[in-house]
Amino acid sequence: MKTTNKLYSVLLFLALACFCLPGFSRADGTIYQYSIIDSLLAGNYDGELSIASLKKHGDTGLGTFNRLDGEMIFIDGEVYKITSKGNAVKMKDTENTPFAETAFFNTDKIIKLDSADSLAELNKKISATIGSANLFYVIRIDGKFNKMRTRSIPAQTKPYLPLIDVVKKQSVFRFKDVEGSMIGIKSPDYVKGIGVPGFHWHFITKDRKAGGHVLDCFFTDMVAKVGSYNNFSLQLPETRSFLETAFDQDKEKELKAVEKDSKKK
């Protein structure tokens, strides 16, 4: 019995030691996603998933609403829409979404950020310290931003145009010395066609009155709270438009185009 106990103790010690090694993943939990990004790019802007159902899968996330009516930011268990006027509106549980990602947020790591002169620099700094590029991450940054530029898209009418054409009429908003929160999801490169490879960020002000899809930002002395996830759950729509769409084209270039600012800084 003593020998068995000693062996168990040694094995437990080795397991804990390995778990604490640099680079060892502590990912847990699930990223839930409704629909695929290529469906949104194709113009499928009506979904069956209610906000009430979305909340069963997480308390933090991103997405949009039926008819592509504004940007969704899911924060602290509440879902907000950033309208094409830039206003934030708390959404009812009965509203539906054609595309959304969510998770129950947990903080596995805190990254100190002395500054970020642009969104590209922020992404680069987080990538350098976040861990494996093959896992999913949810990131939250709270504080005062020197500059923030966001966008939102007005509700569409049928027949729907592809997303790459819709974003040409996006509304762009600029903030200066604004307090608020950025919510980001970083997905692996291999989700191409299903999710958004790399970073995807939305913003909402501290007073929950404005925000949008982040195009660029600048800040100093912030921290990023990071949660890592090794499970991915995908729910596919059963709408007629989704079932009849041909997903045989590579839309990577279109996705990169819609993620960028179509207006001059």
For 125-156, the pLDDT digits (tens) are 999 999 999 999 999 999 999 999 999 999 99
Burial 85-112 (b: 16+ CB within 10 A, else e): ebbbeebeeebbbbbbbbbbbeebeebe
Contacts made by residues 87-91, CB under 8 angstroms, sequence distance 24+: 87/209, 87/210, 88/204, 88/205, 88/208, 88/209, 88/210, 88/211, 90/208, 91/51, 91/65
Confidence of residue 259 (pLDDT cuts 50, 70, 90): confident
Complete domains list, the chain, with CATH: 25-259 (3.30.1330.80)
For 31-44, the pLDDT digits (tens) are 999 999 999 999 99
